[in-house]
Structure 1
Amino acid sequence: MSTTGDDYDSLSKEEREARDKADREREGAEQAALPYSWKQQLADADIEIPVPKGTRAKQLDVIIQKKKLSVGLKGQEPIMSGELCKEIKVEDSTWTVEDQQIVLVHLEKLNQQQWWENILTHHPKIDTKKIVPENSRLSDLDGETRGMVEKMMFDNQQKQLGKPTSDEMKKMEAIQKFQSAHPELDFSNAKIS
C-alpha cells in the first residue's frame, strides 16, 4: 500500500493516478493468488473457496471461531487456515457448500463499522481507504439513524427550495402558539431569527 506514504501528497494528479492504478493491479494479483475469493460489507464478509467437484459437506473440515478460520477437506491440509484479521460473531457466521464445488463462508463482523484489510492476518492486505461501498437503502438503517438521515434530506431539500428547515418550522410554530396564547402582546416589530 504505497499510497499511504508522505510522498503521495507531493505527487501530481497524473502520478497519483498511475500509482493508484499500479497499486490496484498489485492488489488484484495478490488477491487472485489466494486459494479463495472474498468480498465484504461493513457488517460482514463472504468467502468463496473452490473445492473438487462433487464435494459434500460431510467431507469438509470447517472451523469458525471468534478469531480463527480453517476450511479444508478431511484428512488433508486445510485450503485456508489462520487467524482472522478481526473478531467475528461466531453464532451469526455460517458455511455451506454450493453446487458441490464451492464452500461459501459468511462471517458476521463483531465491529460492523470497520472495513477489513484481509481475511487471514498472514494474507496480503487491501487498501481499505480505496473501498467504495455499495449504496445503502434507508431501510437498512436502524430507526434512530434513519430518522436523522431523513431529517437531513428534508432540510437539504427545503433549503434548495428556499423554504424553512424542520428546526425553523418548529420555532415558527412555537412563536405562533405563544402569540395566540398572548394576543395582548404586539409582535409587529419583533425580529425573529
Structure 2
Amino acid sequence: MSAPAPVDTVPPELSEAEQKALDAQNAEREKREQEALPYRWRQTLQDLTVVVPVPPGTRGKQLDVSLQKRAIRVGLKGQEPILAGELAKEIRVDDSTWTLDDSREVTISLEKADQQTWWAHVVTSAPKIDTTKITPENSKLSDLDGETRAMVEKMMQMGKPSSDELKKQEMLRKFQEQHPEMDFSKAKIG
C-alpha cells in the first residue's frame, strides 16, 4: 500500500481580527528579538544607523571598527567583537562613517548601495524584521537629489490643468457670470 500523494493546500484566510492578533503577536516577538541584540538600529531608504554600546570611558584608540562592502566588525581591540558578521546587503564603504559618542557608544552610519530597499536585519545572523510593516518618514521634495526631485514634481503635475487650460477656464467662468441666461452645461474647453 502506497502513501497518499501530498495535496497542495492553501492556508485558510484569516479574519480581520485574527490577522490583527497575528500581526500584534509577530510585532511583539520582533520587538523582543530586536531588544535582545547588543546594538540598536534604524534605517531610511538611503542609510542605516547602528548604535553599539561600549564600556563608559572607552577611547577611540581602543576600538576595532571595520566596515567593508558586505561585512562589519565593531568591538574593543583584543576582545570578541560586539557586532560582527555579513551585512544583509552591500554598503558604500567610502560614504559610511563611525563615531565614538560620549565615550560610551559607537554610532555607525552605513550608506546603502541600493537605496530603494529596506533591510530586514543589519547582519545576516540577526533575527529579521518584517519590512512590509515599515512606515517610512515623510520626506520633503528638498531632501531629494535633483533628478529624482524633477521626476517627482513632473509626476505631481500629471492630471493637473496647464496654465493655458487654467486661463481658458477662468475666461469661461467670467463669460458665464456676464451671461447667466446662456446654458453652458455642454460647453467644452479645447
TM range, smaller chain = 0.7 to 0.9
- Offset of residue 148 of structure 1: 3.3
Question: What one-letter code is carried by the residue in structure 1 that aligns with 2:51?
Answer: E
- Structural RMSD (CA): 2.2
**Partner Cα distance (1:118, 1:30) in 2:** 11
TM-score normalised according to structure 2 size: 0.78
Alignment of 1:28-177 (within 5 A): 28-155=31-158, 158=160, 165-166=161-162, 169=165
How has the CA–CA distance of structure 1 residues 168 and 124 changed in structure 2, closer, same or farther, with 3 Å as cutoff?
A: farther
CA deviations 1:108-150 (Å, max 9, x no partner) are 0000001000000011000111100000000112223323333
> Match of 2:14?
11
> Match of 1:161?
none
**Partner Cα distance (1:119, 1:142) in 2:** 26
Pairs aligned (count): 161
Q: Unaligned 5+ residue runs, structure 2?
A: 1-9, 169-187
Whichever of the two has the greater Rg, that structure is 2
TM-score normalised according to structure 1 size: 0.77
Conservation of the 8 A alpha-carbon contact between 1:151 and 1:166: no
**Partner Cα distance (1:167, 1:146) in 2:** 21
Question: What one-letter code is carried by the residue in structure 2 that aligns with 1:80?
Answer: L
Please identify runs of 4+ aligned residues in structure 1 that moved more than 3 A.
Answer: 151-156, 167-170
Q: Unaligned 5+ residue runs, structure 1?
A: 1-5, 159-164, 173-190
Identical columns (%): 57
CA deviations 1:32-66 (Å, max 9, x no partner) are 00000000000100000011000011000001000
Question: What one-letter code is carried by the residue in structure 1 that aligns with 2:31?
Answer: G
